[in-house]
Each structure stands twice: as C-alpha cells, then as structure tokens.
Structure 1
C-alpha cells in the first residue's frame, strides 16, 4: 500500500512540477522584466527548489570520460564485461593506444581492482569519486547492482548467499591476483566469499582485500542505525520495511525494501543538515551563485537516486549482520550448511579503513576483520583511521583523494609486487 501511495503522490505532483518548470523558464526569459527583480529571482529559485525536491530521479550516468595519466588525458569507456539479472560488472576500459603512450617500455600492467559497491539503496554511481580516485593507478572494475523493482518475479529470489556467489563469479572473471575493495555493506559477504575461496584453494583468490567503513562486527561502537537494528525485532522489519512493487514496474508484485524508505531513513538522521543545504541552494540561486548551485545539484541528483532491495536480501542482512552478528561470532553458514571460516585465509593481504566521525559504521566495526582473519600474517595487515571524516568521506571527497586513496594504492602495489615475485619463483 505504501509503495502505491508514493507512486500516486508522484503522479499527482507531476502537473505542479511542470507548472514550476514552466514558471522558472518564463522568469528566466530576457524578455520578462520581472525575472530581473529580487522578487522574480526569489520566485524562480522557489520553483527550482520545488521541482528538484519532488522530481523522480532515475539511475545516474557514470560521467567518467577520461583519466589523466602522466599529464596525458586517456579516454575511458565504462564497459559491461559480465552480467547476471542482478548485477553487471563494469570495466572502466582505458583507450589502449593512448594509455600505451603514458607508460614506460615493458612496464607491468596496472593492478586489477574490483570495487564492490554497496547494495543498500543507492546506485553504484555513488562511488564515482572512488572509481576516479583509483583510475590512474589501477585497472578498475565495479559491481553495478540491479534495481529489484525492475526484476520480474519470474527471475526468482536474490538473497545474501546469492550476493556471495556473485562476488565469487566476478573474481573468477578477473582471475587470480586481483585486489578487492569493499565499501560499507559488502564487507561481510565479500569476506565470506574470500573465506570460502581460500578454503577451496580457488585459483581466482585475490592478492588483497580492503574494507572501508564496513559493518564486519556491528556490535562495536554501535551507531544509531546499529541500535535501531537491535532494538526492533526481526518481525518488525518484516512487517514495516517490506512493501510490494506496484504496476507498471517490471517487478510488480515482488516484495522489496524500497529505496525511498532507505533514503527517508538516511535523511532523517541528518534532517537539519539537509534543510540547511536546500536553504543555501535557494540563496545561491537568488544570488546567481552558479558554481555552488551546481555543486548542490550534482550531490543531490546522486543522493536522491535510489534502488530497491529484494525482501530476502534485506531481511537476511538485518538478521545475520546487524542482529545476530554471524560472521564475527563464527556461526555464519552459507546456504544454511557450510560454515564460513575467515581464519583459513592466509595468502590474502588485509587492509581496513575507517572514518573518525563515521555515524553509520562506528570505529572498530571494520577493524574487526583483523580479529577474525587470524591466519593472515601480521606483515600482511594494515589498519588506517582517517581523522576528521564521516561515512561518505571514507570513499569520496578531498581527504579520500589526498590521504586514503594513496594509502590503498601503496598497499595494493606492495602485494601486486609480491604476487609477481611469487609467480616468478614458481616458474
């Protein structure tokens, strides 16, 4: 019912959005003298804020066309190289001819990096800054998860263990010796996938794994979302957070955790900050400050674009990760049968990154990976806490670019070199 009401509201608001857009266009006309007055500018700004706040935001574009390597702009094309109904693996393919001109003769290929984007409400494009931060130094791939409301019910279920299967398949696609970077939500399932690969002696095992702002053990430094997950019963989440996709979406009748519910939860955590941001946006528009207005649009065009999660994936994540803490307690069973053992990992280097002010994954939650991956030698571990940043600052923004990304790059280079030396020794 809630989903249908939201869709009805969107339809009802459509004429008002069109009217606001038309009014804004009329006020922007150089033939309209009212548009040049303070009153006219305020009216135009009000229409702009209203239209942008009530608009339907679809999946954003990557908008990554090139990367600068040794002062040379190298064209980049986001290209799907593997896909399933639930995800596609995007390769940010560099133009081979131009890229070759930036490299020394006989230079080693760039290390392969799989960025595992969160499946928690936003599209993978939220990690655009993360991708850009590694394009110069890595051969970058990213998981681009599908929107459950676009998945017909005949496709069947997609749960937490299916997510683990997808990680293994994509690592197999990349081949052994790649590097994995899991941002936020993917931490536990990625660690579970690599644990099973290590136990199986899988040749596609990565050389390193990095976890950033991830709830490996959500019992540590619990944040508001963590506390909510434990205070509410599993039945409460099932009864209040799950809704049915209405027509005309391809996934109609599928039970999902809607993206708009997740978005509302995120915005309520920092409601005053969002209200203040829109007030500043209004003033920037009135004052003709195009640069700051454009920055606001860029952020919220991405932030307000959300996707739905399948019922089974969401509820299993709530139960196994946030309520019962299966992985750190050593009781996670893949498909209910196979016990996941992070302690068997020995040849995969481990790095954890946390933000000092993270209000989603508190300090210590990501570091917990070191405590459960007991088989990894001390010299193959790195832990870093970034001062002064919150959750999003761990994988986006100026401090990510200047302080976090270079540390991760140094880490992956060290173990890319080790992988190459081991391979040479075997030959």
Structure 2
C-alpha cells in the first residue's frame, strides 16, 4: 500500500508542478556604498551529495583597504526539504560582510546509488571537509548554520577542534534543534512519537527510472511539499498573492522577484533514506547531541572543545518548527563561560523569518554584523599582540 500511494504522489506532483528543478541563485550585483559590485559565483569543492558554492563581490579599488583581512561566512544550509537557493536573500545580504560559501545539497534522485547512502555521519564529515577548505582561503571564517544544519555544524566544528584543525572565528546557530527535548513543536512530537519502522514503511520511496538515482531509497520531495503546505499554508498563500498582484499591476521587477520567491519556496528535493532516518533517531528521538552521547565515524562529539570560540544563538519567538530554547541550549553544551554569550530571541519572528524578509534584514542581520565585527576586532587585536605591536 505505501509504495502505491507514494508512487501516485510522485506522479501527481510532477503533473501539478512539472519537472522539478532548483532555480539558480543568479545574484548579479550587490550595492556597496552606492556602487554596484558584480558578484562571482563558483563551485570550489564538491562531493557526490553536495557542492560548496562561493559567492564573492568584486569591490571597486577605492573600497578595498590594504590592511583588510580576508573574511568569509560559511553558510551551512539544512538538508530538510528545500534546496539551498531558499537562502538566496540571506546570501545576498551576507555578501556585505565577506565572501559567502554555501553548502548546496543535491537532490538524492539525481545521485547514482554507487555514490553511497549519505548518512548523518557523512553529512557531518562533509562539513568538516568544507570548513577546512574555507579556512585555507581566508584569515577569518564565521560559521552560520540554519535549522537542521545546526547540530551537524556544531558537531563538525567540535570534531575539528578536538583534532586541532578548527580556526573558526565564531559559530552562529539559528533556529536549530540542538536539544530537541526542550519545548518540542508539533512536528517534533510527531517525529518522536512514531518509530523508525513507521517512517521506513510509510514515508520512504524508491527513485524510479530514468533518474540517475534510480533504485535509491529516499524521503521524496512531494511528501515534503505537502508537509510544508500543511504546516505553513499562509506562507505559500502570501507569496502567491504577491505574485498575482504584481502580475495584475504590470510591475516587472516586483513580478520577477515574487516569481523567483515562489520558485525558491517550491524547490524541494528527495532526501536520502539513511540521512532522513538518522536525523529522526539521533536528533529527535534519542537526543544524542544534547545528552553528550553522539559519535560520528567512531569519534565522540565533544562541544566543550569549542569553549573558547565565540558562539551566537538566534531563535524566533513564533518558531513552530524548532521549539523555544532548543538552539540556545548550545551555550551550555559548549561550556562557553569565557566567551561572549550572544543569545538572541527575535520578537514576532517565525522560522522562515530567521533568514528571509524584514525580520532578517532589519533585526537579525544587523545583530549578526555587530557580533562579527566585535569578534573581528578582537582577533585583529590578538594578532597585533602576537606580533609585538
């Protein structure tokens, strides 16, 4: 029975929404001090399930200081249903703070089965690899992890610190289930109240021909699209209303922007079975990160190794995906007593507001910029002391 209705759902999704594809980021320019600066996008590292995309704004010679350090933001996108292009607005904004690197996770239906399963361990080790790549290219690297990427990013940083390979200037976690036991939301309670066998039987499908990932077992994108609409019908409706109003008003630029926003929100992907079931078990059911019992590739995850790394956690007071306190719990895990305690709870802010829209632009990014500027200033001062100035 499950296989038949999952197959029907895939057919219905294709019929209603057409061929599923991820829209491009297409960030042409950003404005810096009144000057349009072109943005270059390149893929600088890849593994079968993920590309590391680099976005860099080419500033005018008058805007570049000889003494300026090379700063980067590693934006760890969640593998939770949407393509990373969902974070396009965040990338565009963050380009004012430095080069931006984005983990762009692939649709599992397009990844050949011989590439392996992509477990949660593989996800964490991919982040470890990308952190080291970005550290080789920049003096200052700030990690920013959103939603389900938060516990995995924290684990990657901790494992690298344990091995003496972590030079992250700071870590920021936004709306992520670091301790999913605290104030669980309806979605989190659902994940906890159904055993792994239930998810395997009723939510896992096999990728059909002619996709490159044919025979791979996945949590299909069409189920995620339905779940997203059920959980947040007002978001898709609001985007749709803005789209049609722009069309009726013959407003070319707003129409293009809302069409892109609609495409980005609709850009869902198939998740590998191993990763999806690992997340449910490790994060939501057994709470291994929060209990200090998580091992990745036989290595124990010890967040306390990050006690000297400045940590910022951000939550929305109306977040119905990640419960209150779940992200802020990272401070206790990292034993960050000696570092600035940045715990921000944003008023009138739901989960998506954390990285898009006015709450992101007017409240969250300015606070992040202040946090990073303080960290950067401290690092520069430490550098001067080390060199005897």
- TM exceeds 0.5? yes
Structure 1 position 390, deviation (Å): 0.5
Structure 1 position 174, deviation (Å): 1.3
Question: Residue in 1 aligned with 2:205?
Answer: 243
Match of 1:303 among 265, 271, 279: 265
Question: The residue matched to 2:267 in structure 1 has which SS?
Answer: coil
Judge conservation of contact 1:179–1:208 (CA < 8 Å) in 2: yes
Q: Give the 3 Å change call, closer, same or farther, for CA 273–305 of structure 1 in structure 2.
A: closer
Q: Give the 3 Å change call, closer, same or farther, for CA 283–139 of structure 1 in structure 2.
A: closer
Question: The residue matched to 2:114 in structure 1 has which SS?
Answer: helix
Return the TM-score normalized by structure 2. Answer: 0.91
RMSD: 2.2
Question: Residue in 2 aligned with 1:135?
Answer: 95
Judge conservation of contact 2:46–2:52 (CA < 8 Å) in 1: yes
Judge conservation of contact 1:263–1:306 (CA < 8 Å) in 2: yes
1:231 aligns with 2:200: no
Question: The residue matched to 1:178 in structure 2 has which SS?
Answer: strand
Distance between the aligned counterparts of 2:10 and 2:19, measured in 1? 10
Judge conservation of contact 1:110–1:137 (CA < 8 Å) in 2: no
Match of 2:231 among 251, 258, 269: 269
Match of 1:58 among 15, 18, 21: 21
Question: The residue matched to 2:356 in structure 1 has which SS?
Answer: coil
Distance between the aligned counterparts of 2:354 and 2:140, measured in 1? 25
Return the TM-score normalized by structure 1. Answer: 0.83
Q: Give the 3 Å change call, closer, same or farther, for CA 214–10 of structure 1 in structure 2.
A: closer
Question: The residue matched to 2:78 in structure 1 has which SS?
Answer: coil
Question: Residue in 2 aligned with 1:201?
Answer: 164
Structure 1 position 346, deviation (Å): 2.4
1:377-407 Cα shifts (integer Å, max 9, x gaps): 3442201111111001011111211211111
Distance between the aligned counterparts of 1:317 and 1:373, measured in 2? 21
Aligned pairs for 1:246-395 within 5 A:
246-271=208-233, 274=236, 278=240, 296-335=258-297, 337-374=298-335, 376-395=336-355
Distance between the aligned counterparts of 1:326 and 1:402, measured in 2? 35
Structure 1, unaligned stretches of length 5 or more?
14-52
Distance between the aligned counterparts of 1:199 and 1:275, measured in 2? 46
Distance between the aligned counterparts of 1:415 and 1:272, measured in 2? 38
Count how many residue pairs are aligned between Structure 1 and Structure 2: 381
Match of 1:79 among 42, 52, 71: 42
Question: Residue in 2 aligned with 1:25?
Answer: none
Structure 2, unaligned stretches of length 5 or more?
none
Moved more, 71-80 or 281-290: 281-290
Question: Residue in 2 aligned with 1:5?
Answer: 8
Question: The residue matched to 1:201 in structure 2 has which SS?
Answer: coil
Judge conservation of contact 2:178–2:290 (CA < 8 Å) in 1: yes
Structure 1 position 146, deviation (Å): 1.2
Distance between the aligned counterparts of 1:301 and 1:354, measured in 2? 26
Question: Residue in 1 aligned with 2:31?
Answer: 68
Judge conservation of contact 2:144–2:172 (CA < 8 Å) in 1: yes
Q: Give the 3 Å change call, closer, same or farther, for CA 296–380 of structure 1 in structure 2.
A: same
Q: Give the 3 Å change call, closer, same or farther, for CA 10–395 of structure 1 in structure 2.
A: closer
Structure 1 position 158, deviation (Å): 0.9
Distance between the aligned counterparts of 1:120 and 1:108, measured in 2? 36
Judge conservation of contact 1:57–1:301 (CA < 8 Å) in 2: no
